Amino acid sequence: MLDPRILVVDDDPAIGAVLSGLISQEQMTAHWVENGKAALAALDTGHFDAVLTDVRMPGLDGMGLLDRLRTEHPDLPVVLLTAHGTVPMAVDAMKRGAADFLLKPFDRDELLFVLRKAMLAAEHDAALPARPGSKTLLGASPPMRELEQLIPRAARGTATVLIRGESGTGKELVARALHDASSRRTGPFVKLHCAALPDSLLESELFGYEKGAFTGAGTRKPGRIELADGGTLFLDEIGEIPLGMQVKLLRVIQEREFERLGGQETVHVDVRFVAATHRDLEALVQTNQFREDLFYRLNVVPLRLPALRDRAGDVALLARHFCTTHARANRRPAMSLTDEMVRLLAAQPWPGNVRQLENFVERLVVLADGPQISMDDLLREIASEPPRSSALTGAPALDGAADLSLDETRRKTERAALDAALMRTGNNRTLAARLLGISRRTLYTKLEEHGLL
- Average pLDDT by stretches of 10, the chain with 453 residues: 83 91 87 93 88 90 90 86 71 79 77 82 51 62 91 92 94 93 90 83 88 75 89 94 93 94 92 96 95 96 94 92 88 88 89 91 89 89 67 43 56 75 76 75 78 76
pLDDT of residue 85: 60
- The CATH number that domain 5-125 falls under is 3.40.50.2300
- C-alpha count within 13 angstroms, C-beta hemisphere, residue 378: 25
For strands 301-304 and 5-9, give the pairing: unpaired
CA distance 412 to 404: 11
Which parts of 242-401 are beta strand (E)? 257-259, 266-268, 272-277, 301-304
H or E, element range at 201: helix 199-207
Residues of the chain with CATH 3.40.50.2300: 5-125
CA dist 39 → 14, 87, 96, 169, 286 (Å):
17, 26, 18, 35, 52
CA distance 4 to 40: 18
pLDDT of residue 401: 44
Q: Class of the 158-306 domain?
A: alpha beta
- The arrangement of strands across the sheet holding 189-193 comes to 189-193, 232-236, 272-277, 161-164, 301-304
The total of other beta-carbon atoms located within 10 Å of residue 243's CB is 11
CA dist 96 → 78, 226, 292 (Å):
10, 16, 35
CA distance 399 to 393: 17
User: 3-class SS at 54?
Assistant: strand
Report which of 170, 439, 141 is spatially closest to residue 303, judged by C-alpha positions: 170
CATH of 309-384, one of 1.10.620.20, 3.40.640.10, 1.10.8.60, 3.40.50.300: 1.10.8.60
pTM of this structure: 0.70
Residues of the chain with CATH 3.40.50.300: 158-306
pLDDT of residue 386: 66
pLDDT of residue 392: 37
Q: Which residues pair with 235 in a beta bridge?
A: 192, 275
Q: Which residues pair with 303 in a beta bridge?
A: 163
User: 3-class SS at 281?
Assistant: helix
pLDDT of residue 402: 45
CA distance 56 to 131: 29
Cis ω before 198 (30° cut-off from 0): no
The count of residues in the chain is 453
pLDDT of residue 232: 95
Residues of the chain with CATH 1.10.8.60: 309-384
CA distance 72 to 134: 15
Q: Which residues 6+ apart lie within 8 Å of 200 measured at CB?
A: none
